[in-house]
Amino acid sequence: MHRIDITYDSRLSLSDLFAALADHNRLGTVFGVPVRRIRDGQTEPNGVGSVRKIGPGPLGIEETVTALAPNESIDYRITRGGFPIKNHRGHIEFSAGAGSGSRVEWTIEFDSALPLAGSVLGFVLKQAINTGLKRLG
């Protein structure tokens, strides 16, 4: 099992940071890869049960939102693609930060089908998320 922990303090308000990371169709500009919602959630477009596709064409992965509490947290898991990653689960926690800013604590756990690939993929994933969060401000 591999685990990535990221804490980021943003100048954005709590509601703005949550909105930026909860909206599937905005994530592409955050992370610099194609992202689009391919299935709406049960009660709202980006809510529980919604599915986003990340990456180009057949190489893309699909993530499904499994829990969502507005301005508090988002849970998701990879439901299609992602080899050699298996059992990928993400949890994003939001809280008020210093002043008018906010904080995000992002935890990802996954297994790897290839022994050494997990560490490499974990490093790359952590760098990509950190870079994306910095783009948000």
Tens digit of each residue's pLDDT (9 = 90 or more) over 8-55: 999 999 999 999 999 998 898 888 899 999 999 999 999 999 999 999
> Could you give the CA distance from residue 135 to residue 120 in angstroms, rounded to a whole number?
23
pLDDT of residue 98 exceeding 80, the answer is: no
> For the whole prediction, is pTM greater than 0.75?
yes
Which alpha helices (DSSP H) does 1-137 contain, by range? 14-22, 27-31, 117-136
Is residue 100 very low, low, confident or very high in pLDDT (cuts 50, 70, 90)? confident
Domain of 100: which CATH number? 3.30.530.20
Q: Which domain holds residue 126?
A: 2-136
| Number of domains, the chain | 1
* Closest by Cα among 78, 102, 104, 81 to 90: 78
pLDDT at position 87 is 94
Mean pLDDT of the chain: 93
Residue 79 pLDDT grade (very low, low, confident, very high; cuts 50, 70, 90): very high
CA dihedral 67, 90, 77, 55 (to 10 degrees): 120
Element (H, E) at 84: none
Q: What does the alpha-carbon distance between residue 107 and residue 128 come to, in Å, rounded to a whole number? A: 14
